[in-house]
């Protein structure tokens, strides 16, 4: 979502009028209620809440898997519901305060299920993927905070184009594998497959800069309070994507041993 002065959500601020009469004239003074504006601390708090909800959902399917229960329904169902909530929020960000918590929990069901499967196949892989995701997040945050990486319009265009290209490639590969019954090149543990995973991880990491920039500009332009949920949700989507890609990459290395 572009943050600019013409954004319609800027008109959602809460105002109160105080009429002061002087010399037969009435002047209107508008007082901004800053509690209704997006803040950095508020966004951080919302992100923490979503992370806890994600972990809660993940614990459920993780426990179910190691209790030898069927996790396919909650895991796949969680992924589908989470995807739907993200799409709705993208078009209706004013509902993010309701959609974001639901996304985090249902996506957690999917994350817990897929993580348990990978952990059963390659013991220790989950903690390594979590660590790699955390380190990547902190490095990108540091690079952004100290202005080492600046988010320009050209930077945004390149990252968005690359992200859309990856999504299109994944979609076409998935459809083609169903129709023609073949294994896409990014599957398996070949060097080309590993190279693709590394490239995807780089693009996912670059998306973190877009998330940081979106949140910062939202705060600067005093966006409505619900944009804290929207910004936190966008950040969680990127982190989930990054984590899954690290799982895939590490599993490829493990399978080569």
pLDDT tens digits, one per residue of 176-235? 888 887 778 888 889 999 999 999 999 999 999 999 999 999 999 999 999 999 999 999
| Spatial distance between the Cα atoms of 155 and 152, rounded to a whole number of angstroms | 5
DSSP state of 68: T
CB of 102 closer than 8 Å to CB of 81: yes
Q: Give SS3 for 58.
A: helix
CB of 107 closer than 8 Å to CB of 86: no
Count of C-beta atoms within a 10 Å radius of residue 148: 8
Total residue length of the chain: 257
In the chain, where the domains are located: 8-256
DSSP state of 189: S
Arithmetic mean of pLDDT, 18-31: 38
Token pair of 221 as six digits: 């332009």
pLDDT digits (tens, 9 = 90+) for 33-59: 456 899 999 999 999 999 999 999 999
pLDDT higher than threshold 80 for residue 14: no
Nearest to 119 by CA among 67, 54, 69, 66: 66
pTM of the model: 0.85
């Amino acid at each position: 979502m572009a943050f600019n002065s013409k954004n319609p959500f800027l008109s959602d601020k809460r105002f109160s009028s105080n009429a002061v009469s002087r010399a037969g004239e009435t002047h209107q003074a508008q007082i901004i209620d800053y509690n209704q504006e997006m803040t950095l601390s508020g966004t951080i708090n919302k992100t923490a809440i979503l992370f806890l909800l994600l972990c809660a959902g993940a614990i459920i399917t993780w426990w179910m898997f190691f209790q030898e229960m069927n996790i396919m329904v909650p895991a796949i169902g969680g992924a589908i519901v989470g995807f739907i909530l993200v799409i709705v929020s993208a078009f209706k960000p004013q509902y993010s305060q309701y959609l974001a918590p639901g996304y985090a929990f249902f996506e957690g069901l999917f994350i817990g299920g897929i993580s348990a499967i990978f952990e059963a196949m390659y013991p220790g892989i989950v903690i390594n993927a979590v660590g790699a995701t955390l380190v990547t997040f902190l490095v990108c945050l540091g690079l952004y905070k100290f202005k080492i990486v600046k988010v320009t319009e050209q930077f945004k265009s390149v990252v968005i184009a690359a992200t859309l290209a990856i999504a299109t490639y994944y979609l076409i590969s998935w459809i083609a594998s169903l129709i023609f019954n073949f294994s896409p090149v990014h599957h398996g543990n070949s060097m080309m497959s590993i190279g693709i995973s590394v490239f995807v991880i780089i693009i996912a990491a670059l998306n973190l800069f877009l998330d940081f920039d979106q949140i910062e500009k939202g705060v600067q332009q005093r966006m409505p309070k619900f944009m804290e949920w929207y910004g936190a949700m966008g950040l969680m989507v990127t982190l989930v994507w990054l984590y899954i890609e690290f799982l895939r990459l590490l599993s490829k290395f493990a399978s080569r041993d």
